[in-house]
Amino acid sequence: MKKINEKIQNIQGKFFRLEEEILNNRVILVRAIIFFIALTFIILPVSSETKLSTLSDSNSDTKKSIEANTEDDPTSGFFDFGRHTRIPFHYSVSSGSLGNYQVRNLFDSNIKTSWMSDKNSEPEWILVDFSEKRLMDSVEVHFPSWGFFRKIGGYQIQVNVWGKWQTLVENPNPKRYNKHKFPGIDASMIRVFFPDVDDSPVVVSDFKIYLENSLLNGIDPRLGGFLFPVDSGILPNNDYSLPGAPRAYRNGFHKGVDIRTIRSGLFTDEKPLDKNTDILNCADGIVLRADWDYIPMIPADFEKQKLLTSKHPVTFVDRDFGGRQVWIDHGNGILTAYNHLSSIDPNVQVGKAIKKGIRIGKAGNSGLKGEADKTNEGIHLHLEIWVDGEYLGKGLSAKQSRKVMEYLFRD
């Protein structure tokens, strides 16, 4: 009986080891599948010679990892960024995906981003619906240069007349940039229709609608092509860190975006910024302010500032929670302000030109309690973007602010 029990235990042991080995192999297989799926999404956008990834930059070997609140529907959505959108509108496409080639790329005035259809065998189309009377006199259809590895089929510009689509313009031989002018029309909906399809997807960079050279369907063209100021930095997902979030100081609103963490790789954990983190200039410009004479706060200074700003409206600021700052004037009504710096690069001088991607300083916690207490508490970059004298994000919801930031930093 003892020998029989030993044999049973031996068999059970082999079974459990076999079960464990199968489980481990399953885990390895699942991890391998996840890795290759992720690799597909990474390699596809960066393999073309024109850098299809919207989050890459020539100044860095590491792509900027911006966590985005992606579209829930790959084929439709609503475009409204307050005063940064001339007219709110609905949009839809015949097919699409949630990867780098989303439908909203059609309206960001950025030739580096594109929408790609989902290889349907049916005709493809792009539709813009203003939901009300709208006058228009021209449209533009742009294709990416890398899309010309195959012949792009013809397309038609159509309007809806009593439930039926009527062709205004037909272009059988598209070029990379196509502009079509027509007598002024009154329409609430307009679409680009691709009647001829093959096994390849349709790829379009921009679909623009104009009236007297005023863009009707898109974000302000100035708000794009900016470099994210922290290499591998992450755009925050929490509403509190975005422009327009409530605050108990500075007249009640947060006027910038707080960048606190970085992620250097797809499978790596987020890491907080520290005083060795480089802060980069977002776009070419002129240095308007550089706080070389900044005096660090002590606890008494911080408490005094906290008391004053919580009880009095701010009329003039000679010292505040922004700490050591650099401001860059990018021209055309746009300025960026970099707050809480621990140091400023020696080349950053008032009145001097500065190129996009140049280091302006290091991240820090100047102006905050951590600085007053001589700790590393609260290290982050508070970045403000001012457009025509108002901070970017004013009057927008948190969701709108986050999306306009995503458009801004598509370099």
Q: What is the mean pLDDT of residues 41-69?
A: 31
Tell me the fold of 239-408. Glucose Permease (Domain IIA) (2.70.70)
Calpha distance 387→338 (Å, rounded):
15
**Does the pLDDT at position 315 exceed 80?**
no
> What's the pLDDT at 30?
40
CB atoms near residue 15 (< 10 Å): 10
> What's the pLDDT at 222?
87
**Does the pLDDT at position 311 exceed 90?**
no
Q: Would you state the structure tokens that stand for residue 229, as one six-digit string?
A: 């100021």
Please check whether residue 158 is in contact with residue 191, taking contact to mean a CB–CB distance below 8 angstroms: yes
**Does the pLDDT at position 17 exceed 60?**
no
> What's the pLDDT at 70?
39
Domain ranges of the chain: 1-47, 86-215, 239-408
Q: What is the mean pLDDT of residues 103-124?
A: 85
Please report which confidence band the pLDDT of residue 314 belongs to, taking 50, 70 and 90 as the band edges.
low
Calpha distance 76→127 (Å, rounded):
9
Q: What is the mean pLDDT of residues 325-345?
A: 97
Any idea how long the chain is?
411
Name the class of domain 86-215: mainly beta
> What's the pLDDT at 366?
95
E strands, 23-150, in order: 76-79, 89-93, 115-116, 124-129, 135-142
What average pLDDT is seen over the chain?
Answer: 80
End-to-end, the C-alpha distance of the chain in Å comes to: 76
